[in-house]
A and B are shown apart, each in its own frame.
Chain A
Amino acid sequence: MDSVYRALADIVGEDYVSEQTEELFTYSKDLGTSEPRWPEYVAAPKTADEVSRIVEMANEQKLAVVPLGGGMSLAGLALALRGGITLDLKRMDQILELNEQGRYMVVEAGVSHGKVTSYLHKNAPHLMHSEPGAPPAATIGGNLAIHGQGDLAHPYGFNSDMINGLEVVLPTGEICRMGSCALGNQWYTLRPLPDLSLFMGWSGCTGIITKVSLRLFPCKKIQEQDVFVVENENLVPEILFKLTHVGMAEDLVVVSQEIPPPFNRLHYILINLAGDSREELEFKRQLIFDQNLAKYIQEGTGGIGAAGQDIERPVVSKTSDWRKGGGFEYVGAIVPVGFYPEGFRLGVEISARHEIPYTVLGRVVGCGHSMMFSWTYAFNRADNDTVSHARQALHETDERVLEMGGTLWKPAVFGQKLVMDRMDANTREMMKKVKTLLDPNGIMNPGNWEVA
């Protein structure tokens, strides 16, 4: 038995470590188009202290450490590109504190979004958190590590804007806290201490998030979705501007896809509304439809496609597997809302060239300050040609997005390199300094964001 395995077993217990092929296989791939990459070990720690001890050991051994939440990024961000240890954090799934009046909860980072939603339903139904479009198994920590967005993005921004504090195991093993929790046991705010937000958006390259204080928001009694449909993509930005001005929606998503046919070449603006009474909802609908969008309805350029539909969370991922059993991966970009028409046309063009039915989606983030725009490319997992087509389409999209002034969200290694090639040299140098300072042995998720 080798010494690394023995050391891991001593830390997490025999039941929670493996070097067996059949178990490593599970961790060797994700759901996207990335080629399989095998870790040498997988360990599932239960506490931040165990994570810390593993990282210290890995530093001594110069072994890579890859933190894994739900593994839902699709972009291969939790694959062991340089072997080493995959740290499966899903045993760290405890809800530690709920502060209703302060509207926050403290959770371990491996807790799933589904569990948080379920817990709030049961224990604080008047509160909610921003749930990403991913399946419920996506974890809180993993989502923050990629700057995810959720169904409260329009009023409140990125999910990583919605935290009051973090606990992180640094790449050298120290356990470190950010925000008011650094001063004691209170997790009520991240500000106004010196900003040390070096851990979100790095895909685990600068440390391992182990605890989070999540901001919670009012959960109204009635939550419904309305749909506004337009054919001319050029109208989408101005309609979104009007909708964000009214400020009544909790989530604003625009979808267009070739299949099924009703979506083809039409743009479905999904407007999530919430209210504690029917009167509150109707007031919001009057402002939205009867005042701000009436012009389009009467001109005949836009129309109410549906009103008062029930909302199923998460919304986005339910629409992704239209092939039932097939595969899909997407390029996500953070772009200005005005990018939508061009982004739509880009998706149609690239998809057609690769013979993939087009699917695009835009979610307004932060009152229209930006939009997450995605181009999804479907493939058949059992057909390598279709996987290859999708991968080519993804790479082409990465390049075109950057040429068009977009910013790639949670890019795979290919996209990361494109980003760093175009990045301001001083900024790239600072990234390098940060990375070197925090992770002198380069053990944290190596192969991703390789500036050093």
Chain B
Amino acid sequence: MLQLDFDEKKCLACETRDCLTRCQYMDLDAEAAGTEIQNLINGTDTRVLHDCRTCYACEEYCPMANHPFYLIVSRQEELGIAPLPEPIVKQGIQMGIAFRGDPEIHEVNGPVLNMGVFSPLIRLAQGKLFEGLTLISTDSRKMHHYFCQLMYLHFARTSVIKDRLPKVMATIAAHKPTEVVHFHDECYGTYTSFAPAWGMDVPFSSIHLFEHLYNRLTELRDEIKPLNYKVAYQRPCSSRLSSDKHRFVDKIFDLIGVEHVRRQYRDEDALCCGSTILAQKTPDSRRFCLNQQKKNIEDMKESGAELCIFNCPACMQTIGKQVAENGIMPIWMSDLCRMAIGEQPA
């Protein structure tokens, strides 16, 4: 039985209660947060379970590394308080079912790039920045065998993740990688945050895509021509699980000569793209989502951003079009990096 690495003493001793007091979607002072945290610990109903937008941010805000978000979604599942309507939950869970046979496994014995469930975006992993990496999960018919499953945090179904994840890890491990660069933040967060938090052994070592890009760009420093764009970065929810890697965003931007614009919704204060909020059961979620997106994009515009940098396909799909309609070009982080070394974006 997997147990969450959660220490209630740490929580109760916490003075700031940043997990809830800094939440962008709930208005709680430290005292009220303390009450709600106690309810969470006790496993009783609390408004937190109903009002949570599942943005993952509390996982980053927690000064104790005590996994408040994992606790919240676990309690939501235990008490049957799913943030999303049941058909959407079922749809999401069924999305991760592998159904077209097993993938062919080739032993690599070297570094790999794990595309996870984003095989259709394989075009983004080409050129000098990806030289020396063997791609795994390249077949879109078999990609669900590599699907990290972490998306189900948004559905309050940690049980699904815990059930499926060991098989996914075994599939990746079967390639015998020396290290795994993860195309998506979510996969990286799965293997470096979620799995350890639940006491799961991960049979390979993981590298964040941004760390890899930064290292490769450093090696190719002589080929870099500064791009001189003003850019906004759409921070995905899953990067909250690997906040120590977020520094690579600015390190990359500095290296390739783009300006990360100062704006209200940046870094720890970043706003969710809204993909998980749109369909939530809370009354008026749809309009709330639209307002969040509008605030986010207006903020980008006011800051003078020319480009919006994405790393998460869900974010790109959710607001990429709106960003473009507002005169800001949406572009993938990997493409931006490729442009800096004179390559054409995919």
Chain A residues with a Cβ under 8 A of chain B = 229-231, 259-267, 278, 282, 285-286, 289-290, 294, 296-305, 307-308
Contacts and interface: CB of A to CB of B under 8 A. Distances in A.
Contacts of A298: 281-283
Chain A interface, >50% SS class: mixed
B266 interface: no
A229 B88 contact: yes
Nearest to A231: B87
Given A230-B87, A289-B286, A305-B88, 18 more contacts: A229-B87, A262-B92, A262-B95, A286-B287, A290-B284, A290-B287, A297-B279, A297-B285, A298-B281, A298-B282, A298-B283, A300-B281, A301-B85, A301-B86, A302-B87, A303-B86, A305-B279, A308-B321
B283 to A, nearest CB: 6
Given A229-B91, A260-B99, A294 B86 contact: no
A297 B97 CA distance: 25
Interface string B278-317: 1101111111001000000000000000000000000000
Contacts of A296: 85
B9 to A, nearest CB: 35
- Residue of A300, A302, A308 with highest tally of chain B CB at under 10 A: A300
B94 interface: yes
Given A303-B85, A304-B278, A307-B278, A266 B321 contact: no
B82 interface: yes
A304 B92 CA distance: 12
10 contacts: A260-B99, A261-B94, A262-B91, A266-B94, A286-B287, A290-B286, A303-B85, A303-B87, A303-B279, A305-B87
B284 to A, nearest CB: 7
Please provide the 3 A-B residue pairs with the shortest distance between their CB atoms, ordered closest to farther: A303-B85, A303-B88, A261-B97
Interface string B65-98: 0000000000000000010111110111011010
Contacts of A231: 86-87, 90
Interface of B: 82, 84-88, 90-92, 94-95, 97, 99, 278-279, 281-287, 290, 321, 325
Contacts of B91: 229, 262, 266, 305
Nearest to B285: A297
A308 B278 CA distance: 12
Contact of B85 (A262, A285, A297): A297
A298 B278 CA distance: 13
Nearest to B82: A300
A285 B286 contact: yes
Contacts of A261: 94-95, 97, 99
A187 B321 CA distance: 41
Contact of A266 (B90, B99, B282, B290): B90
A259 B94 CA distance: 10
A294 B283 contact: yes
B94 A297 contact: no
